[in-house]
Structure 1
Amino acid sequence: MKIKSFEFNLRELGGAMGDFGTLFPLAIGYIYVCGLDPAGFLVMMGLANIVTGLVYRLPMPIEPMKVLAVAAIAQKWTPSMIYASGFGMGLIWLLFAVTGLVERLARLTPPSVIRGIQVALGLMLAVEAAKLLSTGWFLGIISILIVLALRKNRHAPAAVVLMVLGIVVMAVKGELGNIAAPGFKLPPFTTFTFQEVWDTLLLAGFAQLPLTITNATIATAALISAYWPNKTVTVRKLSWNQGIMNTILPFLGGMPMCHGAGGLAGQYYFGARTGGANIIEGLIEIFLGLFLSASIAGLFSVFPGAIIGAMMFMVGIELMKFARDVAIGKDLIPLGTTLLVSLATNMAYGFLAGLAVHYLSPLFFRNGSIKKEGS
């Protein structure tokens, strides 16, 4: 049976909303704290989604680079610093693609370490989801039940129902009254200095690299192979994509963007199966950016956190399921090491620790067997 490249239906719409949980809080921080222009933020993200959907013909999440976003919000970067950081990361990813370095890193990374990264990400999402669920347990439990009941429903997909429920809750609370009237606004032309490019790389860009290599590139490619065995996407192609969009979009207000295994799992879990999900999401983001940019941060900030928490929690569970294909035995040791170190420190250290254990464990087992034989 031939797999369709594009579908435009409620299921794809539900999948398009599957990774909104990570977008909302970072979008609010970028706009409120750093003063990022909402029109540029959303329209550029929408364009990136549409182009990516057309190129890959698969769901392919476009997400904020999380280390950069957290650092920018915590340190109150100026908008020009944010644009500069995206451009700097784009140059690095183009370098990785041109030299083939990202492919060599992928070849060196065993499946057990990739699964460890995915399980760690799943647990981290679940923990953050629990915090959001605690803001309204009753609504959160109802939302989880809706997900379980409607996740595979083509006529009332869970994510679409939850978005409608969130709007109803906001309306009942009277939180929709402050929405400004729709008004047309184009993304601004933005500039930055090369000094800002270097400064932001030192502040957070180099720290972002291991996470982008592991989660946004290697783990995302592995997840695509798991979901669509006949539609392999190479890590080099993902590197090209991340490089191109980050060297172009910052000049029109775009934030630093990447892919992500968590976002892909969210899209798939809530129904996305084709590139249509990306196109739908992109059109929604462009509409919001062009016509509702004056209200978008306020809308994001009052959307019920418990509903987002329910979606994030189920996506976290979905990611953790991939540990099942790791063979019981010595492969569990690098997986466990990657997981524990990632949770205790960060995914970069977890990745390095898992690699070290994977490549050093044969020496340990061989030496152990030699000692046993000689005793």
Structure 2
Amino acid sequence: MSLSAGVFGSESPKFSVGAFTGAIGDSVTVLPVVVAIAALTELSLSHLLLGFAVFQVVWGVRYGLPVSVEPMKALAALVIAGSLTTDELVVAGLLAGVILFTAGSTRTLRRVSHYVGEPVVRGVQLAVALLLLETGIRLSLGSPAFATLAVGVAAIVSVAGYRRASALVVLAVGFGVVIPQTGLPTPHVPNVTFVLPSLSALSSSALEGTAAQLAMTVGNAAVATSLLLSDYYDADVSPDELATSMGVMNLLAVPLGAVPMCHGSGGVAGKYAFGARTAWSNIVLGTLYALAAVFAVGIVAAFPLSMLGVVLALVAVELGRAGFDTDARWFAVGVGLLGVVANVGVAFVVGVVCYILWNRRSDATTPV
């Protein structure tokens, strides 16, 4: 595949406004989570943004499509909530990378996805949403005035018909509040770092977080993304191909300070809804992320945590809506509540076992 064919696909190689608007469609699923991670942990926002910048361009050119690059939301939620340390996050990201690369390169993902049913995936999404919601509410109570401002902005944006962009708009307003206090940001080029966690970070929490993340990744980032790329762009990209690229991405990026990343159906749907039709939107978004990594990092430390709490709550609501998108809502709710009461990893394992037993019982009672 030539570079121009990879970037432009089969369409005329004309740059369009949709490349910019489509980039916004993907960023609404990324920036709120990434800013929260940088504000609440010791991870560097510049390194997080550079990870997304590089791989937006890499996978746009590789697939010739507006594929998405998003945070692994289960792992992101756990580190935001304090259930994972940053070292455990790195371990979980590397483990997920190894498993996804192995499953994708051996073309076994479709067989595995048969055992991780949609209700299990939706239940894990619901558990992650509840964890984010709890963290968001706790943060927003710190400064009711800023939280009220954020809620008001989100309500106006939602009433105007742009609900999915409400978290991004609240972020923009928050930065508008901060800049007069901090002044205009000065350029800062991040150093290249290489981080390998200690063996003690290979903990039960890291393993449980990896299991929970893989439940979402198989269903949402691989199978569902493959289907959307086919529906929207008439592209033949298999779940195994996407799993392989996600594995490569995490094995390369996580040791360099990036957050664990994946593809995602939400990002693809967002790009398409906002007008993306070629991989130009990936190149535009990668460039914007790189500029933000250099110029906009200094103001994150001053970002009002109460407004960030509202941003997390908005992200949680969107993720929770996806959690209810199944015919077996009772099953998803059960898995989700177990994830909050116990932990997300336990909920995933119990959900898979129950789903297998449920399917066997249904098959046994089906008349021949």
Q: Given the two structures, how large is their TM-score scaled by the length of structure 2?
A: 0.72
Contact kept, 8 Å, 1:49 with 1:279, in 2: the verdict is yes
Equivalent residue number for residue 287 of structure 1 = 291
Is 1:249–1:255's contact at 8 Å kept on the other side of the alignment? Answer: yes
Task: Report the Cα distance in structure 2 between the residues aligned to 1:95 and 1:151, rounded to whole angstroms.
Answer: 39
Q: What one-letter code is carried by the residue in structure 2 that aligns with 1:140?
A: V
Note the C-alpha offset of 1:140: 0.3
Pick aligned residue for 2:352 from 351, 355, 362: 355
CA 303–8 in structure 1, closer or farther in 2 if over 3 Å, else same: farther
Tell me, yes or no, if the aligned pair for 1:46 and 1:285 is still in contact at 8 Å.
yes
Q: Secondary structure at the match of 1:113?
A: helix
CA 1:37 to 1:113, structure 2 compared with 1: closer, same or farther past 3 Å? closer
Q: 1:284 to 1:127 in 2, by over 3 A?
A: same
Letter matched to residue 258 of structure 2: M
Tell me, yes or no, if structure 1 residue 17 matches structure 2 residue 25: no
The one-letter code of the counterpart of 2:286 is G
Q: 1:339 to 1:249 in 2, by over 3 A?
A: closer
1:208 maps to what in 2?
A: 209
Alignment-derived partner of residue 174 in structure 2: 166
Q: CA deviation at 1:273?
A: 4.9
Matches within 5 A, 1:183-332: 183-190=187-194, 192=196, 196=197, 198-202=199-203, 204-224=205-225, 227-228=228-229, 229=231, 230-231=234-235, 233-250=237-254, 253-259=256-262, 264=267, 267=270, 271=274, 273=276, 275-293=279-297, 295-300=298-303, 304-305=307-308, 308-309=311-312, 311-316=314-319, 318-320=321-323, 322-323=325-326, 326=327, 331=328
After superposition, what is the alpha-carbon deviation per residue over 1:282-323, rounded to whole angstroms, capped at 9, x for unaligned?
A: 222211223344x15325456832652464255235414522
Residues 1:339 and 1:322: Cα distance change in structure 2 (over 3 Å): same
Structure 1 residue 341 and structure 2 residue 352: aligned? no
* 8 Å contact from structure 2 (residues 57, 283) kept in 1: yes
Confirm or deny: 8 A CA contact 1:28 1:301 kept in the other structure: no
**Kept in 1: contact 2:19–2:281 (CA 8 A):** yes
- Shift of residue 139 of structure 1? 3.3
**Partner residue in 1 for 2:6:** none
Amino acid at match of 2:49: L
Offset from partner CA, 1:156-198 (integer Å, 9 cap, x none): x756654443333x15xxx543247523424314254xxx464
Deviation, 1:63, is: 1.0
State the shift of 1:84 in Å. 6.5
TM-score (norm 1): 0.71
SS at match of 2:202: helix
Provide the secondary structure at the position in 2 that maps to 1:348: helix
In the TM superposition, residue 16 of structure 1 has moved relative to its aligned partner by: 1.7
| Secondary structure of the corresponding residue to residue 206 of structure 1 | helix
Task: Provide Cα deviations, 1:107-142, integer angstroms capped at 9, x if missing partner.
Answer: 222333333334444455555554555542353044
Aligned to 1:373: none
SS at match of 1:187: coil
Shift in Å at residue 201 of structure 1? 2.9
1:306-365 alpha-carbon deviations (Å, 9 max, x no partner): 652464255235414522xx2xxxx55644443343343233333332332233236656
- Over 3 Å counting, the alpha-carbon distance change for 1:184 and 1:116 in structure 2 is closer
- Is the 8 Å Cα contact of residues 265 and 315 (structure 1) preserved in structure 2? no
The answer for unaligned runs of 5 or more in structure 1 is: 371-375
Offset at residue 24 of structure 1 (A): 1.7
Q: Distance in 1 between matches of 2:47 and 2:325?
A: 36
Note the 1:359-374 alignment, pairs <5 A.
359-361=356-358
Instruction: Classify 1:64/1:315 alpha carbon distance in 2 versus 1 (closer, same or farther; 3 Å).
Output: same
Instruction: Give the distance between the partners of 1:290 and 1:158, measured in 2 at CA.
Output: 25
Amino acid at match of 1:339: G
- In percent, how many aligned pairs have the same letter? 14
**Partner SS, residue 23 of structure 1:** helix
